Amino acid sequence: MAIKVLSDQLASQIAAGEVVERPFSVVKELLENSLDAGATTINVDIRDGGRTLIQVADNGGGISENEIETAFLRHATSKLSSSRDLEAIITLGFRGEALAAIAAVSQVMIVSRAAGEKAGTRLTLAGGKKTSRDAVGAPQGTVIAVENLFYNVPARLKFLKSDNSEKRLIDDFVTRYALAYPAVRLRLTHNGRITFQTSGN
């Protein structure tokens, strides 16, 4: 069999499998991004165990309009600039792989406004490719909606458990992080019903 160089799209889908195994993986990466952004309020909304929708909204620092597309490139991160920085990592995320991996296997819509900007930016992607971008009114912070996870790699769907099982994994994760970050107000909603929330400090 001949050796071939994979297309960028296929390589991205394969790489995504190392980061995004199931809906829980998406919630973990997005929630950790929110915490790294200094959010004090984080709302997580999921539908059908996260298969059809995972949305995370926060009041963190936001992403500037000139960096929002860069955030979805592989190995794009604000946490590292040299190998020396690896010795002093204090953030939850630093590899610069999560958003690119998530976008490669889903349909993503993000709205973000950084401090000091007059308007927010809305960006949509499908399978890692930008489909639209415009300026919108938005409070400081970020809302990211991940829809139809694994829509373009349907074989991955066969490895998911029932909606309730996937939801329980997310429930357990959010509960653990609520205990670890008591000052952060966290809310989890599944199919329109609030299933967990904290008041923060």
Give yes or no for a contact between 97 and 75, defined as CB atoms under 8 angstroms apart: yes
Q: Is the pLDDT at 166 greater than 80, yes or no?
A: yes
Q: Is the pLDDT at 1 greater than 80, yes or no?
A: no
Average pLDDT estimate for 165-171: 97
Residue 113: is it exposed, middle or buried by C-beta count within 10 angstroms (0-12/13-18/19+)? buried
Q: What is the pLDDT of residue 32?
A: 94
Average pLDDT estimate for 11-40: 82
Q: What is the pLDDT of residue 131?
A: 98
Which letter, b or e, does each residue of 70-99 get, where b requires 16 or more Cβ atoms within 10 Å of its Cβ? ebbebeebbebeeeeeeeeeeeebeebbbb
Average pLDDT estimate for 25-33: 95
Q: Is the pLDDT at 160 greater than 70, yes or no?
A: yes
The CATH number of 8-195 is 3.30.565.10
How do the domains of the chain map onto residue ranges?
8-195
What percentage of the chain has pLDDT greater than the value 70? 79
Q: Are strands 129-136 and 53-58 parallel, antiparallel or unpaired?
A: unpaired
Q: Is the pLDDT at 155 greater than 70, yes or no?
A: yes
Q: What is the pLDDT of residue 84?
A: 54
Q: What is the pLDDT of residue 16?
A: 47
Q: Is the pLDDT at 173 greater than 70, yes or no?
A: yes
Average pLDDT estimate for 93-99: 66
Q: How confident is the model over 34-79, as pLDDT tens digits? A: 999 999 999 999 999 999 999 999 999 999 999 999 999 865 454 4
